[in-house]
Amino acid sequence: MGDRASGRASSDEDVTETREEQLAGRLRVAAELFAARGYGGTTTRELASAMGVTNGTFYHHFESKEALLRLVCLQALRTLEARVQAAVERADEPLQKLEVLVQVHIAAITADRHAHVTMLTDTRSLQGDQRHEIIEARDRYERRVREVIGLGQRRGVLRDDIETATTARLLLNLLNWTIVWFSEQGAVPEEDLSKQMLTVFLDGARA
């Protein structure tokens, strides 16, 4: 990519990229700005400049800043769901399914940290159908998680005295907000973090 700065999308003149690659690059740039400044604190002029395009080109590709936010959130959720679902389907036993769900979820959100921070904190900035679409996508992923939890409960490997939906939401809260504090340069490697989270979730923190 002919970037203007680290993580920046290509200029209008770069014709070597496919449209899909250009869109992916622009979504990454938008997510980085939204995560750093907040949706409300980011202007379309700043977005266009960071993408290396003119304001006119920006509006050619995106109907509005809100439409861009919708794409960032939707892409983050779709990618997460696809990766987790594929991993879960390859696992055989209920606890294996839960283990790969945790591992892949953590890997996915840390790899696309800015988009997931934006989705978690700025979905509320969307209005009407655009907000409803993101909420539907989020709820669909939650149903996938509930399916894994429910299977474990039915097989007797997970406690069933807590409702499946509640257990799933507790797990999602544990996983999702990792991106707020986790550092790849920190003392705990990502793989170890996934194992520790699974241990705390399954066994609790009590000695």
3-state secondary structure of 60: helix
Read off the pLDDT of residues 103-158 as tens digits, 9 standing for 90 and up: 999 999 999 999 999 999 999 999 999 999 999 999 999 999 999 999 999 999 99
Place of tokens 């990618």: 79
State residue 207's pLDDT score: 55
Reply yes or no on domain 1-62 having CATH 1.10.1040.10: no
State residue 84's pLDDT score: 98
* Parts of the chain belonging to CATH 1.10.10.60: 1-62
State residue 172's pLDDT score: 96
State residue 3's pLDDT score: 41
> Which H or E run includes 88?
helix 65-90
Q: Which CATH class is domain 69-203?
A: mainly alpha
State residue 11's pLDDT score: 46
Read off the pLDDT of residues 30-59 as tens digits, 9 standing for 90 and up: 999 999 999 999 999 999 999 999 999 999
Measured CA to CA, the distance from residue 188 to residue 52 in angstroms comes to 36
pTM for this structure? 0.86
